[in-house]
Amino acid sequence: MTTGKQLFTTLQPDGKLTLEVAESQFHEPKGNQVLVKMEAAPINPSDLAILTSAADFETAEYAPGKVVATMPEPFLSGQKARHGQRLPAGNEGAGTVIATGDSDAAKALMGQRVACVPGHAFSQYALADAMMCLPLGDHSAEVGASSFVNPMTALGFVETARMEGHSAIVHLAAASNLGQMLNRICLEDGMKLVNIVRKDDHAELLKSQGAEYVVNSSAPTYMADLRAAIAETGAFLGFDPIGGGQASDGVLKAMEQVAVSRMTEFSRYGSNQHKKMYIYGRLELAPTILTPSYGLDWSVAGWLLTPFLQRAGLETVVRMRSRVQANLTTTFASHYKAKVNLEQMLEKPAITDYRQMKTGEKYLVTPWG
């Protein structure tokens, strides 16, 4: 048994959400498992779903290595399935393999620095599946910490677009780490990308990175700009990490207006151009609003990495992983606003900052820092 500090999150039926750092024991790795001494783990929006969700951290009770906040409705009832469960957190991270199970794949990683996806990366140690580990060679743990979720998601969007017969994509909140990565991939692959951002400096950032189509949803000309970009690129497929409100609705409207402008005859059912938005995150927890303004040839669906990878199949996943590994410091590079250790992660200044998920302001957890 190896002992180390680990973060846990517990939501009680009465609405108390407790995040705490506690001593944990990690058993010896078996079979395909490896035991990783974790050195760095990013706080991704997908981690915040169980870390902060909609809880009130302004009025929370803070103690060293612990915080207790209140979860409002309907989010409390909505997470009924986890009530009372003490859950680990942290999808991904990087560290050094210090023990392995007896499979050849596991043993081959002994002593190596790897990126991994243990699901409990906010921890000093983690048990990970050797098949999901990416050897980092000479790269630091910081360089490799985000080498799974964002890279595979961005590549997954391009794969999804190709599978569904598209040669152009619309992306919302496009200046994020993920968005910048997607922009680099699309430039490399010749996939046209319409980047939607909310701020001028985000637009400038993407343009400075070679983005050809960037529209600002805060501009009074937003809908016209978006229509022009859609008309030029033929983008009728989009990816939306915002989820709540009318972000996707606006894109579907613009797509429809472009399609209708190309029709020679009026149809009461709208255009016969299929329009599709994938919602892959919930930066806004408000309901998604879809107005009846784009006929009936549309679809809005959730997009999640794991089911996508299962659908894509092993060969595609291996090809994607190899591409990430070969381009870790270029196409797939991530940037961090701040580093925190496990205790600092639960202090008010940090928690109230990273929970906002501001574009380009990602935190990195260094559990031995």
Give the interface with its own copies as residue ranges (CB under 8 A).
46, 49-50, 74, 78, 81-82, 85, 87, 243-244, 249, 260, 263, 266, 268-269, 272, 274, 279-280, 282, 285, 287-293, 295-304, 306-307
Choose among 339, 369, 340, 342: nearest CA to 5.
342
Shortest gap between Cβ of 207 and its own copies (angstroms)?
Answer: 31
190 vs 262, beta carbon nearer its own copies: 262
Q: What distances in angstroms separate CA 330 from CA 159, 268, 295, one per listed residue?
A: 20, 49, 42
59 vs 306, beta carbon nearer its own copies: 306
Shortest gap between Cβ of 99 and its own copies (angstroms)?
Answer: 25
Chain position carrying tokens 């669906």: 301
Rounded distance between C-alpha atoms, residue 91 and residue 73, angstroms: 26
Shortest gap between Cβ of 117 and its own copies (angstroms)?
Answer: 14
298 vs 363, beta carbon nearer its own copies: 298
Shortest gap between Cβ of 93 and its own copies (angstroms)?
Answer: 17
Helices (H), 122-270: 141-144, 149-163, 177-189, 200-208, 222-233, 247-261
Residue 298, H or E segment: strand 298-302
DSSP output for 144-172: HTTSSHHHHHHHHHHHHHHHTT-SEEEES
Shortest gap between Cβ of 84 and its own copies (angstroms)?
Answer: 10
Query: What backbone torsions phi and psi does residue 329 show, to the nearest 5 degrees?
Result: -100, 0
Residues 366 and 39 sit within 8 Å (Cβ to Cβ): yes
106 vs 154, beta carbon nearer its own copies: 154
Choose among 250, 264, 7, 259: nearest CA to 123.
7
110 vs 286, beta carbon nearer its own copies: 286
50 vs 141, beta carbon nearer its own copies: 50
111 vs 292, beta carbon nearer its own copies: 292
| Gap between the terminal Cα atoms of the chain | 23
Shortest gap between Cβ of 214 and its own copies (angstroms)?
Answer: 27
Residue 9, H or E segment: strand 2-11
Rounded distance between C-alpha atoms, residue 330 and residue 65, angstroms: 35
Q: Which two tokens stand for residue 205?
A: 């950032």
Shortest gap between Cβ of 282 and its own copies (angstroms)?
Answer: 5
Exposed e or buried b for every residue in 178-198, given b needs 16+ CB within 10 A? bbbbbbbbbbeeebbbbbbbb
52 vs 183, beta carbon nearer its own copies: 52
126 vs 279, beta carbon nearer its own copies: 279
Shortest gap between Cβ of 294 and its own copies (angstroms)?
Answer: 8
Shortest gap between Cβ of 157 and its own copies (angstroms)?
Answer: 14
Rounded distance between C-alpha atoms, residue 239 and residue 280, angstroms: 7
DSSP output for 46-70: HHHHHHTTT-EEEEEEEETTEEEEE
Shortest gap between Cβ of 113 and its own copies (angstroms)?
Answer: 27
71 vs 114, beta carbon nearer its own copies: 71
